Structure 1
Amino acid sequence: MTRLQTRFGAPLALALVGALTLSACGERSKPAETEGHAAPSAGKEAGDYERGPHRGRMLRDGDFALEVTIFEDGVEPEFHVYAYRKDKPIPPKDLQLSIELSRLDGEVNRFAFAPVEDYLRGGGVVHEPHSFDVKVSATHQDQVHRWAYATYEGRTGFSAAAAQAGGVRTEIAGAAPIAERVDMAGRVEITPEGKGEVRAWYPGRITSLRGELGNAVRKGQVLARVESSESLQTYSIPAPISGVIVEKNLNVGDVAGERAIFVIADPTKLHAEFLVYPRDAEKVRVGQPVEVRSLSGAAELMAKVEAVLPTADLVSQTLVAHVHLPEGAASAFRPGMGVEGAFQVGVRTAPLAVRTKAIQRFRDFQVVFVKVRDTYEFRMLELGRQTPEWTEVLSGLKPGSEYVTDGAFLIRADIEKSGASHDH
C-alpha cells in the first residue's frame, strides 16, 4: 500500500490528499513465497500484473503457474482457478489448492477447491468488498507452491490529525430505534381559534368602516359603526381578535344583518389538516409526532397530532387529522400551502442500524466507510427501514464496526480519485 505524505497545514483538501494512503483492487502484488522455486518475474510497474487467458491474475513458480479469477457472471462471486505447466493446461483433478483471504478487520476466509470441467472452483462466496491480503497454496506432483499478494479496493488511509481536521467523525454500529412512519398529504389552515368575524349586533345601516383588506388590527379596535334599524341608536363594533383582515363583505351604507362585515385571521395560529385513508386510520393517534415538510422540502418542523375528526368523507372514506403548528411556523408555512407529513405511528428496535447521514453512494452501491486504525474501507449495505436519523442494516456490516458518520464524502471522493478499481 503506497503512502503519500505531506505536511498538514495547507488548505484542507490538499492536506487530506497528502495524508491519504491509497489502495486499489489489484494494485500491488507481493513477491511470491515458494518452497524452493523461482519467484515470479520482476520488473512490472506497481498496480500491474500478468493476466492469463481468462483475464485472471497469473501466479508463476518456475514452469508451474496458476490463473486466479473471481467469477461473478450471473452468480455470487466465487473463485475459478486454472492451472498450467509450461503454459499448458493441467487437469484440475491433479491439483490440490487452498486460498486464504485476510481482511482489514482481521476476518480470515479460507477456501477449499474442487475440480469442475477445466478449472478448480472455490467452495463459498467471495464476499464484497474484494479487498484483502491473499495467500495461495497449491500442490502438484508432490511439489508445494505458495504465493502471497495484496489486492485492495475502496480503501484509503490517513492520520488521526488529518481526519480530525477534515471533520471525520465515527460511531460504533449497533441496535437503534427505528420509527415506523406513514406519509400523508395535507394543507396548512388557520385554526378555528385563529379566525374572528365582525358582525352587526343588531340589524342596521353601516355608517362608517375603519379597515381594508390586508390591514393588521388589534383586539378591541373599533372597525365599524352601525345605526340600529329599531332604536336608531348608533353603536360601535370592535375586532374580536388581533390579526389581519382577510375578508371585507360590506361597505358604508349597506344594511348589516346576518353577513359578516369583516373576517379577521391570526396567521400565527396554524394547523395542518391531513387526509387519513382507511388503511392508516387505525394507526394514527392523538399525540403522535409528525414531521411536517413543505412540498419544496425547504422547510420542515416537528409537530404533534392534536385531533382526529371522527367523521369520514362519504366518497373517499378519509378522516381528517389536525396537526398543531407552533407559532414560529408562520415564517415558513402559510395558510393554503400544501404540505407533506410523516406520522410516527410506532417504534421498533433494529438489531443493526447506522446514521442515515453516514450512507454514501459509491459506484452503484449504498455504502458506509468502516475505520480500522488509520485505514478506511467501504462496506456495501443491504438496507431496511429508514428515517432521517437512522437506517436499518440487513447485511453488509458487522455489529460493533466503527463507521464514519461525518466527513464520509471526503473519504469517498479520495477513493474515487485514486481510481480504486473492482478488478481481479
Structure 2
Amino acid sequence: MRRIYLIAAALLAAPLIACGQAGENAGTAESAEAEAAAAADYERGPHNGRMLRDGDFAIEVTVFEDGVPPEYRLYAYRDDKPLDPKEVKARVMIARLDGEKTTFDFAPQDDFLRGNAVLVEPHSFDVVVEASMGGKAHKWSFASYEGRATITDAAARAAGIETETVGSQAIGDTVEIIGRVELDPAGSAEVGAKYPGPVVAVFRNVGDRVAKGTLLAKVESSYSLQTYAIYAPMAGVISARNANVGSIADSEPLFVISDPARTVATFPIFPRDIERVRPGQQVQIRGLEGERTQSAVIRDFLPLADVTSQAVTARAALPNRDGFWRPGMAVRGLVTVEQRQVPLAVRTDAIQQFRDFRVVFAKIGQTYEVRMLELGKEGPEWTEVISGIKPGTVYAAENSYVIKADIEKSGASHDH
C-alpha cells in the first residue's frame, strides 16, 4: 500500500495545493513556492536580519540563537547609522497558524534591543513590529513562514494522508523476536481409515482445496471385503497425503487437511528474554521485508525447551484470511512487555526529520505546519511527547512524508 501512496505522491509533485483546478479548490491554490520566494525577497541588514524602513528610520529584525534559546534582537538605524537602543522603544507581536498570539517587549542591551522571552519553534507566524523614537511611531507587518504546506482535502486523500489527534496513549517497552509462520495444529484434521484394508481409489492430492464432505479415497475393508468411502471432515487444503492405490490403510492418517486461514507465528524465546515475554502480551508481526504488519497476542508456550539453545517456543495466533502468511515464512515480532500511560503521544510512523528536529505536521484547516517535538519513550506504534505540540492538535499520522516532500520541494526555509 505504501508503494501506491508513493506513486500518488509522485503524481502530486506539481504543487499539491494546485490539484484542485476549479471551484472551492481554486481558493486554496496559494503556492508554497510563492510564499518562500516572498519570504526571501526582502532587504537584509548588517546583522543579516530583515530591514524594515519608514523614511529615514529603520529597524533590523533578527532572531539570535547562537548558544542561547532563540530570541528577538532589534537594531535601530537612522540614515543607515546605528542608533542608541536606549532611545528606541519597540515591541513585536506574532500570530501563529493555530490562533495563538504572543507579544514581545524589548530592553536595551549593548547595541541592540533584546526580546524578553524565548521565540518558540516553529518560527512560522505573521509578524507586527512597532517602534517609536522621539515621539514618532512606526509600524510594519510581514509574514514569516516555515514548514508549511497547503494541501486540499481531496489531494490529501489521494496521497493517503490520514490524521490523528494528539492525546494520552499507552506506551510500551518492546522485545524483538524472530520466528516463522506455521499452520495452526488446532486448525488441522488427520483423516484415517475406519477399517484396515487396501486403498482402491484416491481422488485428491496435496494442495487441493476441499469442502467438508468431499470424497477423498475408497478403501476395501479387510474384514467385510466391502468398499467404503473416506470423506473430508472439514474444509481446507490437503497438506499431506499418505495414500496411494494399493497401499494398505491402517492406523496412520491417509490425509492431513489444514485450514490455511488459521496460522500461527512461532518464536523461540531465549533465556535472556524468557522472564519478560509472557502469554497475553501484544505482539506486532511483520515479514522480514515489506510493510505488512499484523497485531496478535502471545497465546501460549510449548511445554519443552530446546536442549541445545534452551529456547522455549512461544505461539501467537495469526489469522490469515487472505492467505498472505505462508507456512515457513520468516517473520519478525515486536512484543510489548510493559506499558505505561503517558499524557501526550503521537504515532511513531508520523514522525519525520526536519532540519535538526524530529517533527509531526499539525493540520489547521487545509494547511499543514511543522511541530518540533521533544520526545520521550518510543514504542513501535506510539511515541511519548514531552513538549512541542498541544493536546487535541490534529496531525498527519499516515504518509506524512508526502507533506515533508512538498515543503522541501517548495524551498521553504528557516528565515526571519
Give TM-score scaled by structure 1 length: 0.68
Please tell me whether the aligned partners of residues 98 and 136 of structure 1 are also in contact (alpha carbons under 8 angstroms): yes
How far the C-alpha of 1:410 sits from its partner, in A, is: 7.8
**Partner of residue 109 from structure 2, selected from 109, 115, 123:** 115
Structure 2 equivalent of residue 333 of structure 1:
325
Map of 1:227-238 to 2, 5 A cutoff? none
Q: Which amino acid aligns with 1:187?
A: R
CA distance in 2, matches of 1:368, 1:100: 26
Cα shift at 1:133? 3.4
Which deviates more, 357-366 or 276-285?
357-366
For residues 57 and 90 of structure 1, the distance between their equivalents in structure 2, rounded to whole angstroms, comes to: 17
Q: CA 1:321/1:54 → structure 2, altered by over 3 Å: closer, same or farther? A: same
How far off is 1:368 after superposition? 1.6
C-alpha offsets along residues 308-327 of structure 1, whole Å, 9 cap, x if unaligned? 2344334444322111233x
What's the secondary structure of 2:305's corresponding residue?
Answer: coil
Q: Deviations over 1:383-418 (max 9, x none)?
A: 445667654332211224354668978876775665
- Whole-Å separation in 2 of the counterparts to 1:163 and 1:265: 49
Q: Tell me if 1:16 matches 2:25.
A: yes
Question: 1:165/1:395 Cα in 2 relative to 1: closer, same or farther (>3 Å)?
Answer: same
1:320 correspondence with 2:313: yes
Structure 1 residue 397 corresponds to structure 2 residue 389: yes
Identity of aligned residues (%): 40
Alignment-mate amino acid for residue 28 of structure 2: A
Structure 1, residues 282-337: CA drift from partner, whole Å, max 9, x if none? 443333443333334454444333212344334444322111233x4362112111
Aligned counterparts of 1:250 and 1:163: Cα–Cα separation in 2: 61
Question: 1:295 and 2:294 equivalent?
Answer: no
Contact 2:270 2:312 in 1 (8 A): yes
Q: Does 1:285 align with 2:278?
A: yes
2: CA distance, partners of 1:148 / 1:279: 65
Unmatched segments (≥5 aa) in structure 1: 1-9, 29-46
Change (3 A) 1:226 1:379: same
Q: Count residues with an aligned counterpart.
A: 384
Deviation at 1:128, TM superposition (A): 1.6
3-state SS of the aligned residue for 1:101?
Answer: strand
Q: Are residues 1:421 and 2:413 paired?
A: yes
Letter in 1 for 2:106: A
Q: Displacement of 1:155 after TM fit? A: 4.3
Q: Cα gap change, 1:405/1:16 in structure 2, threshold over 3 Å: closer, same or farther?
A: farther
Q: Tell me, in whole angstroms, the C-alpha distance in 1 between the residues paired with 2:150 and 2:350.
A: 18
Distance (Å, rounded) in 1 between the aligned partners of 2:205 and 2:165: 61
- 1:60-99 matches, cutoff 5 A: 60-73=53-66, 75-90=68-83, 94=86, 98-99=90-91
Aligned pair 1:176/2:169, yes or no? yes
266-275 or 340-349: which moved more?
340-349
Partner amino acid, structure 1, of 2:317: H
Report matched runs for 1:220-369 at 5 Å: 223=217, 244-247=237-240, 262=254, 264-268=256-260, 269-297=262-290, 299-326=292-319, 328-329=320-321, 331-354=323-346, 365-369=358-362
Deviation at 1:351, TM superposition (A): 1.0
Q: Which of 118, 121, 133 is residue 128 of structure 1 equivalent to?
A: 121
Answer whether contact 1:270 1:325 (CA < 8 A) is retained: yes
> Is the aligned partner of 1:55 residue 2:48?
yes
Cα-Cα RMSD = 4.7
Q: Does the CA contact (< 8 Å) of 2:58 and 2:77 recur in 1?
A: yes
Change beyond 3 A, Cα 1:399–1:253:
closer
In structure 2, give the amino acid aligned to 1:58.
M
What amino acid is the match of 2:102?
Answer: V
Q: What are the ranges of 5 or more consecutive residues in structure 2 without an aligned counterpart?
A: 1-17
Name the structure 2 match of 1:102.
Answer: 94
Contact 2:216 2:232 survives alignment (8 Å): no
Match of 1:41 in 2: none
Aligned mates of 1:173, 1:387 — CA distance in 2: 16
Answer with 1 or 2: which has the greater Rg: 1
Residue 106 of structure 1 and its aligned partner are, at CA, apart by: 2.3
Letter of the aligned partner of 2:287 in structure 1? Answer: S
Change (3 A) 1:406 1:224: closer
Secondary structure of the equivalent of 1:309?
Answer: strand
Q: 1:264 and 1:376, CA in 2 relative to 1: closer, same or farther beyond 3 A?
A: closer
Indicate conservation of the 8 Å contact 1:71/1:80, yes or no: yes
Equivalent of 1:188, from 176, 181, 191?
A: 181
Q: Distance in 1 between matches of 2:208 and 2:37?
A: 73
The residue identity in structure 1 corresponding to 2:324 is A
After the TM superposition, which of the residue ranges 272-281 and 411-420 deviates more from structure 2? Answer: 411-420
Equivalent position SS for 1:290: strand
TM-fit CA distance, 1:70: 1.8
How far apart, CA to CA, are the structure 2 residues paired with 1:175 and 1:232? Answer: 72
Deviation at 1:184, TM superposition (A): 2.5
Q: Give the CA deviation at 1:266.
A: 0.9
